[in-house]
């Protein structure tokens, strides 16, 4: 029998501490007006000093398990996407596994920066499709605030911390819905346009996030619209067949231009970046959880998830909720 993955539940967690644009402008040469106009961001959440990526991930995972009616003991795979792991090793996923009381199956991290959630979803879906996993947790979790250069106004105003998770259940291929398909891509020639200038092997420091914003912006619109067009074509679907686009949240102008480029109404785009800013691998499950929670996304809706990030990496996934 062949299998596929159904999204059984989703959940999210945001740290309590809110930092508004106004607050940033007290210590940085920036303004609420500039940030809102150029990005669409009003505020972001920042993890407390003693709050680690794994702590955010566990809270999101628990919420997703509860929402999906799945027990932690049923989980046999945890794939966690993060660019800000608790430690260089072991994988943050193993800490999450232990905190959830899971002692079977496998847990590992995926590193594809802002595209991490799409990559993780693809990996977990493939495990389910080949019959190696029955119930998987896919998590995007970040404490990106820890790798920001808080004196660099070009990057520090753009990001926030948070976590989101989904539970995948193995179902027979013939069943309606679930993950229809995923496409992931990378092109390492562009890694210096968005990178961290540190790491255990290169500098033995953690380093700070560096970005050539304008260049990244241009590639983001081109790459995300092209992978969306490809995945719709692969599934013989038109943009108008989509009920919702749940994109990685980097910049409101990127979201609008990408939607416009593929011919999708911006009313179908789920936007959370005004309150979350760019939470890297966490942004898609955070947005998904919000739109499912407030009733916008309903059973049977066709969703496209898409992201682009450092590497460059990018990708999209089509899901029937």
Catalytic residue set: 114, 248, 278
Span from 12-20, 59-67, 97-105, 250-258 in contact with ligand UT7 (CB under 6 A): 250-258
Is residue 114 involved in binding ligand UT7 (CB under 6 A)? yes
Six token digits for residue 311: 């590497």
The least CB distance from residue 270 to ligand UT7, in Å, is 16
Among positions 200-219, residues that touch ligand UT7 (CB under 6 A) are: 213-214, 216-217
Is residue 315 involved in binding ligand UT7 (CB under 6 A)? no
Residue of 18, 32, 38, 207 interacting with ligand UT7 (CB under 6 A): 38
**Quick count: other Cβ atoms within 10 Å of Cβ 8?**
20
Rg value, the chain, Cα: 18
Q: Are the CB atoms for 108 and 81 separated by under 8 Å?
A: no
**Quick count: other Cβ atoms within 10 Å of Cβ 211?**
17
The least CB distance from residue 283 to ligand UT7, in Å, is 8
Is residue 117 involved in binding ligand UT7 (CB under 6 A)? no
Is residue 165 involved in binding ligand UT7 (CB under 6 A)? no
Region of 131 (left: φ > 0; alpha: ψ -120 to 50; beta: rest) is left
Alpha-helical segments (H) within 115-251: 116-129, 153-156, 213-234
Residues present in the chain in total? 321
* Cβ-based burial of 173 (10 A; exposed 0-12, middle 13-18, buried ≥19): exposed
The least CB distance from residue 144 to ligand UT7, in Å, is 10
Is residue 154 involved in binding ligand UT7 (CB under 6 A)? yes
Binding site for ligand UT7 (CB under 6 A): 30, 34-35, 38-39, 114, 153-154, 157-158, 213-214, 216-217, 220, 250-251, 254, 278, 308-309
């Amino acid at each position: 029998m062949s299998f596929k993955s159904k999204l059984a539940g989703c959940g999210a967690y945001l740290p309590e501490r809110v930092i508004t644009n106004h607050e940033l402008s007290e210590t940085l040469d920036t303004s609420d007006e500039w940030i809102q106009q150029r990005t669409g961001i009003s505020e972001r959440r920042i993890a407390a000093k003693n709050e680690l990526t794994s702590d955010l991930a566990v809270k999101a995972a628990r919420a997703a398990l509860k929402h999906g009616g799945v027990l932690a003991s049923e989980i046999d795979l945890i794939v966690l996407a993060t660019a800000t792991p608790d430690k260089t090793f072991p994988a943050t996923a193993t800490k999450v596994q232990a905190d959830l009381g899971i002692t079977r199956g496998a847990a590992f991290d995926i590193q594809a920066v802002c595209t991490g959630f799409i990559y993780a979803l693809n990996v977990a879906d493939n495990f389910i499709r080949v019959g190696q996993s029955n119930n998987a947790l896919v998590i995007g979790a970040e404490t990106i605030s820890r790798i920001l250069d808080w004196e660099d106004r070009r990057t520090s105003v753009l990001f926030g911390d948070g976590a989101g998770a989904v539970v995948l259940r193995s179902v027979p291929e013939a069943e309606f819905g679930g993950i229809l398909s995923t496409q992931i891509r990378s092109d390492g020639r562009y890694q210096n346009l968005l990178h961290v200038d540190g790491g255990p092997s290169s500098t033995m420091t953690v380093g700070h996030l560096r970005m050539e914003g304008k260049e990244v912006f241009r590639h983001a619109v081109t790459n995300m619209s092209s992978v969306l067009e490809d995945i719709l074509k692969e599934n013989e679907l038109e943009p108008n067949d989509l009920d919702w686009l749940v994109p990685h949240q980097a910049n409101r102008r990127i979201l609008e231009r990408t939607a416009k480029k593929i011919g999708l109404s911006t009313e179908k785009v789920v936007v959370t970046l005004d309150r979350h800013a760019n939470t890297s691998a966490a942004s898609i499950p955070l947005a998904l959880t919000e739109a499912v929670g407030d009733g916008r996304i309903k059973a049977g809706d066709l969703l496209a998830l898409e992201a682009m990030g450092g590497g460059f990496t990018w990708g999209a996934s089509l899901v029937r909720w």
